[in-house]
Amino acid sequence: MGKLAGPAQPFRAPSVQGPNERPPVGLDDLPGVWRESLRAVSGGLVRLRRAGEHTLSPTPPPARGSLLPARATDHWAYRSPLDAAPVERITIEHPDVPLALDGLSILHATDLHLRRRARDEQFRVLQRALRQTPADIVAFTGDYHDGVGNEDAAAELLAELAASASTLPRLGVYGVFGNHDTDRMRALCRRIDAITWLENHAAPPVRSGGPGASQTLPLCIVGLSFPEDPLAAMLELPVAPARQTPRPLTITLAHQPSMFAACADMGSSIVIAGHTHAGQIRVAPGFAIHTSSDLPGTMASGVLRIRSTLCLISRGVGEGFWPGLRINCPRQLPLYTLRQGPLPGAEASRLRCVRAW
């Protein structure tokens, strides 16, 4: 009987090395610090790829005009959205949502950072998403341009976006200003009639079917523009009778999520914010290197909670420093659908992230 062959060896193509070429350098040939750094980056990329594979369940999106959303079942919302990018449908449950507002949808656009010559394919995608996505309310939360000299072009582009957004919302389009928005930008924005600007004020009573309707909804919208003054804005809210049912739902629009704690102390149920860009550059889906705020990298975007108040932080639809500069941090135009239900996560008096995206 002949001798048994050993295990088959994997095929390796022969190395073709020219007379002036150096032999290839492997990971083990690098200095120790470089070797460990590259291994850490490689491991992070593998985890990132695996996290990106957790997509939404294949539930079809709702029909046009429907208030029933496709529910996101995964803990991480880092995914390819069902809708045309960058729309992501996200269900938010809160016990303060009255039955009259159950199913209220809010399309959130923040941190546009528009520039001159910004009418590119990304702009057209955003414009198309605003035009084609049904929502009850559209909220713009600041940083509409990216520096001095871009105001006129950015205001023109923002007016086009507002015109696209105002075709579907039945309860209005609201906006606040961010830290990037100069005095000139704000003056130009105030001329955009399609947006109700809230500069540390409460919005007029929201009526079902539009301003001419007679039924007032149990909804209070507060807008905090940079520099924020939450106390002045909250003092404008009407005092509801102690026995009034249902109690009005208070939603605060703010650019910076640092206003979250103050809004919670003043009784706001939901805060909608941006500013962080979710870091723009992330080494993993849930960790940003820099957040432009006092929030840690693990809280740069998603749903934060303090006691019974939720803060919804979007990744934003624009970029700072350089157009398109995003790594592991895709643009996001969230469509929040509010439902009456239990608060996510365990009750805590300290800030915590109960859902990341």
pLDDT score of 211: 55
Averaged pLDDT, 325-330: 88
**Sign of torsion over alpha carbons 150, 151, 152, 156:** positive
Q: What are the start-end ranges of the E strands in 137-244?
A: 137-141, 173-176, 196-197, 201-202, 219-224
Residue recorded with tokens 């895709």: 330
Q: Which one is predicted more confidently, 204 or 83?
A: 204
The yes-or-no verdict on residue 131 having pLDDT over 50 is yes
82-86, 144-148, 151-155, 187-191: range with lowest mean pLDDT = 82-86
Looking at residue 294, what is its pLDDT? Answer: 85
Beta strands in the chain, from DSSP E residues, in sequence order:
87-93, 105-109, 137-141, 173-176, 196-197, 201-202, 219-224, 249-254, 270-273, 282-284, 287-288, 302-306, 309-313, 333-339, 352-355
Q: What is the pLDDT of residue 10?
A: 39
Q: What is the pLDDT of residue 142?
A: 94
* Mean pLDDT, the chain, whole residue set: 78
* Residue 274 confidence (pLDDT): 96
Q: 106 and 351 in contact (C-beta within 8 Å)?
A: no
pLDDT reading at 105 higher than 70: yes
Which stretch of 68-72, 236-240, 261-265, 322-326 has the lowest confidence by average pLDDT? 68-72
Report pLDDT for 216. 87
Token digits for 232?
A: 């002045």
Q: Is 50's pLDDT higher than 50?
A: no
State the pLDDT at residue 61: 44
- Which residue type is seen at 110? T
- Higher per-residue confidence, 246 vs 64: 246
Q: Is 55 a residue whose pLDDT tops 80?
A: no
C-alpha distance from residue 183 to each of 118, 146, 147, 152 (Å)? 21, 13, 12, 12
Average pLDDT over residues 120-137: 87
Average pLDDT, stretch 22-48?
A: 50
Per-residue model confidence (pLDDT) at position 148: 86
In percent, the amount of the chain with pLDDT more than 90 equals 43
Q: How far apart are CA 295 and CA 172, in angstroms?
A: 31
Domain residue extents for the chain: 66-355
| pLDDT for the residue 169 | 73
| Residues in CB range of 252: below 8 A, 6 or more apart | 221, 222, 223, 224, 230, 233, 259, 263, 268, 270, 271, 272
252: which strand partners?
Answer: 222, 271
- What was the pLDDT predicted at 218? 92
First to last CA, the chain: 63
pLDDT of residue 212: 58
**CATH of range 66-355; options 3.60.21, 3.40.1350, 3.40.50, 1.25.40:** 3.60.21
Task: State residue 19's pLDDT score.
Answer: 45
- Please, which pLDDT band fits residue 45 given cuts at 50, 70 and 90? very low
E-strand stretches of 258-323: 270-273, 282-284, 287-288, 302-306, 309-313
Look up residue 279 and give its two tokens: 């870091």
pLDDT tens for each residue of 154-211 = 999 999 999 888 776 789 999 999 999 999 999 999 999 999 999 999 999 998 865 5
